[in-house]
């Protein structure tokens, strides 16, 4: 069933705080894509125009649907995005209606973490998995949850908001987002990554501590939803090899050994996962219908 | 024709079972667990005894709720805390060979949530979390009347999530009253109702912590509804207000406005939920 659906082309749109990525996906492959820099101080209307124009570049007759992902609160049913991260003018945009009216095909909207998770299920490392978490570590911390091969957004698209959970003196997002490196060490993540690659001892120690905190956060994820697999995405995943060992040290303290035996934690390997994930929203929505 | 099932709830001090048809309990029995739980077989025998007492030719399957990690697929229960000898018991196999009927098993908090989903407050909800607050804090996640087990059946273990200097369970269960007020919840509730200021304060604090636990549940799974049961929940009049106050500052306003949080109206949900294990699976009996 999943294989059949991949014969149709679907467009994925990933709107980030600085970059817009749009692609046409067919047979599990990104056939064509465009990347546009976004001026996040532009008006709502101008950014909508950018999105529409980028979509036009990859649109063709084989396209049967579209998925749209953004780092924001989402009303999944109505396809409305609220307060998109870093784009001040996008306070409440009825993006589903706008895109469906413009292009005449069904459009599915969700947040970036959910797109990431469903993208890994359909196109990435989680194809054989039933229950997984896609954890994005970047400017914020959020997770997408897949239960029994379906995207699980929660009632208000608020599932997987692990960033908000109290942890140590603040919350999980405080310690795991890229801001923390600046706050605590006065160094940017990118710089730290460069230094870690050159085996700089301080950078490695900083990433080790990060791994401990991440491991503790992962235990919370496991206690709440017990996934078979956790895939780490977002900019910070680039440093995965530097914090992986410390992360496992904490995770291995997990109470239920049977879950631990099965658990796999990997960094994303898909380059275009944001766009692929947005496209996967279409397949997830239609798979649901078919499975009833 | 409504099918008949037996639901079994293995608790901390007793094993309770009922014969259920159409969600109605027609007969129920219980046996106290021996104080010295040395031999695993003794408890297995007690379970067989209660099932035997309820068995008749109409019963088509047995469902069991257990206070521990359960591998529902394989029918194995692991590490039951209050029965030290139960490290790994292949309970489904044992009972199936005795009664020649299908046996379904799951964690007791999951059964409680399932019971509320089928027969209680969760009837109209697509997606809910059931929380049991007793000697411990247990949770079950139910989506469209199916328990979300996760990879190994340990989903919904909200109690073990780190909180303050310990875990959510330490602050949101009977444990809280033991640790901080040297009392059991029931006695403290009596005092509170009689106007004892310190007892009333204890319940206010409890409500605050429970509210924080609810915020964690909302952040992780964002349910439509949370139903709360268990022995401590019976005193909800003493802590509900503080609990709702504590939740009110949750980061996502829309979630707070929409979420329904209610307290169990009857005591039987865990057993009814255990009996519903028999038909919530794909393999519906023919």
The model's pLDDT over A35-75, given as tens digits with 9 standing for 90+, comes to 999 999 999 999 999 999 999 999 999 999 999 999 998 99
pLDDT value for A4: 55
**Two structure tokens written together for A62:** 């084989």
The residue-averaged pLDDT of B216-225 equals 93
Residue A236 near residue A137, CB atoms below 8 Å? yes
Q: What is the pLDDT of residues A184-201, one digit of tens each?
A: 999 999 999 999 999 999
- The closest of B202, B156, B212 to B178, measured between CA atoms, is B202
Q: Report d(CA B94, CA A190) in Å as an integer.
A: 58
Spatial contact of B170 and B161, defined as CB atoms under 8 Å apart: no
Name the maximum alpha-carbon separation found in chain A.
56
Q: Which of A66, A62, A64 is nearest to A52 (CA)?
A: A66
pLDDT at position B286:
35
Q: What is the mean pLDDT of chain A?
A: 92
pLDDT above 90 (res B49): yes
Q: How many domains does chain B have?
A: 2
Q: Can you give the pLDDT at residue A289?
A: 53
- Residues 6 or more apart in contact with residue B127 via CB below 8 angstroms: A154, A155, B142, B143, B144, B223, B224, B225
Rounded average pLDDT over B68-72: 88
- A-to-B residue pairs, Cβ atoms closer than 8 angstroms: 113
**Average per-residue pLDDT for chain B:** 91
Mean pLDDT calculated for residue range A72-89: 93
**A156/B71 touch (CB, cutoff 8 Å), yes or no:** no
> Residues B51, B146: one domain?
no
B10-20 in b/e form (b: 16+ CB < 10 A) is: bbeeebbbbbb
Share of chain B above pLDDT 90, in %: 68
Does residue B177 have a pLDDT over 70? yes
Q: What is the pLDDT of residue B285?
A: 40
- Is residue B129 domain-shared with residue B54, that is, in the same domain? no
Give which of A77, A180, A172, A162 is closest to A117, Cα–Cα. A162
| Residues B96 and B149 occupy one common structural domain | no
B243, B275: one domain: no
Are B94 and B157 members of one domain?
A: no
Average pLDDT over residues A68-95: 94
**B257 domain residue, yes or no:** yes
Whether B117 is covered by a domain: the verdict is: no
Q: Can you give the pLDDT at residue B12?
A: 78
Q: Which of B150, B252, B255 sits opposite A225 (nearest CB)?
A: B150
- Residue B166 in any domain: the answer is yes
What's the CATH code of the domain at B200? Answer: 3.30.420.40
- The C-alpha of A214 sits at a distance from chain B's nearest C-alpha, in angstroms, of 14
Residues of A in Cβ contact (< 8 Å) with B155: 224-226
> Taking 70 as the threshold, does the pLDDT of residue B27 lie above it?
yes
Whether B243 is in a domain gets the answer yes
* Mean pLDDT of all residues in B60-89: 88
ipTM over 0.90: no
Q: Is 70 exceeded by the pLDDT of residue B37?
A: no
Per-residue HEC secondary structure of chain A comes to: CHHHHCCCEEEEEEECCCEEEEEEEECCEEEEEEEEECCCCCCHHHHHHHHHHHHHHHCCCCEEEEEEEECCEEECCCCEEECCCCCCCCCEECHHHHHHHHHCCCEEEEEHHHHHHHHHHHHCCCCCCCCEEEEEECCCEEEEEEECCEEECCCCCCCCCHHHCEECCEEHHHHHCCHHHHHHHCCCHHHHHHHHHCCCHHHHHHHHHHHHHHHHHHHHHHHHHCCCEEEEECHHHHHHHHHHHHHHHHHCCCCCHHHHHHCEEEECCCCCHHHHHHHHHHHHHHHHHHHC
In A, which residues are within 8 Å of B158 by CB distance? 223-224
- Note whether A260 and A252 are within 8 A (CB): yes
**Better-predicted residue by pLDDT, A63 or B149:** A63
User: Which of A73, A166, A226 is the closest to B150 by Cβ?
Assistant: A226
Q: What is the pLDDT of residue A288?
A: 62
The label of the residue with tokens 């579209």 reads A66
Q: What pLDDT score does A291 carry?
A: 40
Beta-carbon count within 10 A of B263 CB:
18
- Domain membership of residue B220 (yes or no) is yes
The mean pLDDT value for B266-282 works out to 87
Assess whether B199 and B100 both reside in one domain: no
B179 and B105 in a common domain = no
Mean per-residue pLDDT for B135-147?
Answer: 91
Of B279 and A259, the structure prediction assigns the larger pLDDT to: B279
pTM value surpassing 0.90: no
| pLDDT tens per residue, range A215-267 | 999 998 988 888 999 999 999 999 999 999 999 999 998 777 777 888 999 99
Let me know if residue B115 belongs to a domain.
no
pLDDT (mean) for A89-103? 97
Do B47 and B173 lie in one domain? The reply is: no
Q: Which of A25-39, A187-201, A262-276, B145-159 has the lowest mean pLDDT?
A: B145-159
Domain assignment of residue B98, given as a range: 4-110+268-284
Choose the closest CB to A224 out of B221, B251, B258: B221
* Mean pLDDT of the region B134-141: 92
Q: State whether A165 and B223 contact (CB < 8 Å).
A: no
- Residue-level pLDDT at A57: 97
Which residues, other chains included, contact A58 with Cβ-Cβ below 8 Å and sequence gap of 6+?
A11, A22, A23, A24, A32, A33, A34
Pairing of strands B59-66, B103-107: parallel
Cα–Cα nearest to A24, from A52, A68, A70, A55:
A55
Residue B224 pLDDT level (bands cut at 50, 70, 90): very high
* Residue B61: pLDDT over 70: yes
Q: Is residue B118 part of a domain?
A: no
> What's residue B101's pLDDT?
96
If asked whether residues B8 and B95 sit together in one domain, one would say: yes
State whether B83 and B186 are in the same domain. no
The minimum CA-CA distance between B35 and chain A, rounded to whole Å, is 26
- For residue A92, the chain B residues in CB contact (below 8 A) are none
Identify whether residues B128 and B259 lie together within a single domain: yes
Residue-wise pLDDT for A123-155, tens only, equals 999 999 999 999 999 999 999 999 889 999 888
Contact present, A126 and A112 (Cβ < 8 Å): no
Q: Which of A76-80, A119-123, B10-14, B46-50 has the lowest mean pLDDT?
A: B10-14
Note whether residue B51 is domain-resident.
Answer: yes
Residues B135 and B89 grouped into a single domain = no
Look at residue B171 in the predicted model and tell me its pLDDT: 97
CA distance A91 to chain B (A): 15
Query: Residue B84 has what pLDDT?
Result: 80
- The confidence score (pLDDT) of residue B253 equals 82
To the nearest whole percent, how much of chain B has pLDDT over 70?
97
Q: What is the percentage of chain A residues whose pLDDT exceeds 90?
A: 78
User: d(Cα B111, Cα B141) in Å, to the nearest integer?
Assistant: 10
Query: Token pair for residue A284?
Result: 């997830």
């Amino acid at each position: 069933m999943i294989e059949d659906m991949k014969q149709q082309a679907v467009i994925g749109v990933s709107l980030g705080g600085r970059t817009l990525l749009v692609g046409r996906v067919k047979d599990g492959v990104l056939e064509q894509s465009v990347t546009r820099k976004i001026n996040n101080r532009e008006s709502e209307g101008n950014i909508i125009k950018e999105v529409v124009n980028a979509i036009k570049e990859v649109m063709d007759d084989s396209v049967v649907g579209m998925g749209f992902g953004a780092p924001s609160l989402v009303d999944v049913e109505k396809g409305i995005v609220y307060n998109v991260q870093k784009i001040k003018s996008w306070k409440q945009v009825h993006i589903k209606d706008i895109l469906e009216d413009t292009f005449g095909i069904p459009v599915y909207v969700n947040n970036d973490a959910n797109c990431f998770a469903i993208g890994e299920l359909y196109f990435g490392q989680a194809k054989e998995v039933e229950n997984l978490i896609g954890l994005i570590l970047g400017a914020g911390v959020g997770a997408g949850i897949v239960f029994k091969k379906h995207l699980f957004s929660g009632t208000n698209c608020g599932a997987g908001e692990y960033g908000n959970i109290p942890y140590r003196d603040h919350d999980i997002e405080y310690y795991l987002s890229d801001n923390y490196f600046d706050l605590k060490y006065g160094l940017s993540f990118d710089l730290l990554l460069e230094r870690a690659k050159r085996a700089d001892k301080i950078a490695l120690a900083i990433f080790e501590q990060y791994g401990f905190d991440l491991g503790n956060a992962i235990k919370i994820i496991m206690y709440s939803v017990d996934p078979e697999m956790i895939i780490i995405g977002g900019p910070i995943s680039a440093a995965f090899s530097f914090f992986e060992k410390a992360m496992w040290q904490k995770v291995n303290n997990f109470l239920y050994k049977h879950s631990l035996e099965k658990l796999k934690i990997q960094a994303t390997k898909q380059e275009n996962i944001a766009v692929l994930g947005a496209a996967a929203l279409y397949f997830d929505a239609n798979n649901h219908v078919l499975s009833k | 024709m409504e099918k008949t099932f037996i639901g079994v709830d293995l608790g901390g001090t007793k094993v309770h079972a009922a014969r259920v048809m159409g969600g109605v309990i027609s007969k129920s029995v219980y046996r106290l667990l021996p104080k010295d739980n040395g031999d695993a077989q003794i408890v297995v025998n007690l379970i067989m005894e209660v099932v035997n007492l309820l068995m008749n030719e109409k019963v088509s399957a047995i469902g069991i709720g257990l206070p521990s990690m359960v591998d529902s697929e394989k029918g194995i229960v692991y590490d039951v805390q209050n029965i030290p000898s139960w490290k790994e018991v292949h309970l489904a196999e044992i009972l199936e060979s005795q009664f020649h009927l299908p046996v379904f098993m799951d964690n007791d908090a999951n059964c409680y949530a399932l019971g509320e989903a089928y027969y209680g407050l969760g009837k109209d909800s697509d997606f809910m979390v059931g929380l049991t607050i007793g000697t411990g804090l247990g949770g079950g996640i139910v989506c469209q009347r199916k328990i979300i087990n996760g990879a190994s059946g340990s989903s919904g273990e909200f109690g073990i999530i780190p909180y303050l200097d310990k875990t959510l369970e330490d602050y949101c269960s009977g444990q809280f009253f033991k640790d901080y007020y040297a009392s059991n919840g029931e006695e403290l509730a009596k005092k509170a109702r009689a106007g004892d200021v310190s007892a009333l304060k204890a319940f206010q604090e409890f409500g605050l912590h429970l509210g924080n636990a609810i915020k964690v549940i909302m952040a992780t799974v964002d349910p439509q509804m949370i139903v709360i049961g268990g022995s401590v929940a019976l005193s909800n009049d003493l802590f509900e207000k503080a609990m709702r106050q504590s939740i009110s500052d949750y980061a996502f306003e829309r979630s707070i406005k929409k979420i329904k949080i209610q307290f169990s109206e009857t005591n039987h949900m865990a057993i009814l939920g255990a009996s519903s294990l028999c038909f919530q699976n794909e393999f519906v009996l023919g």
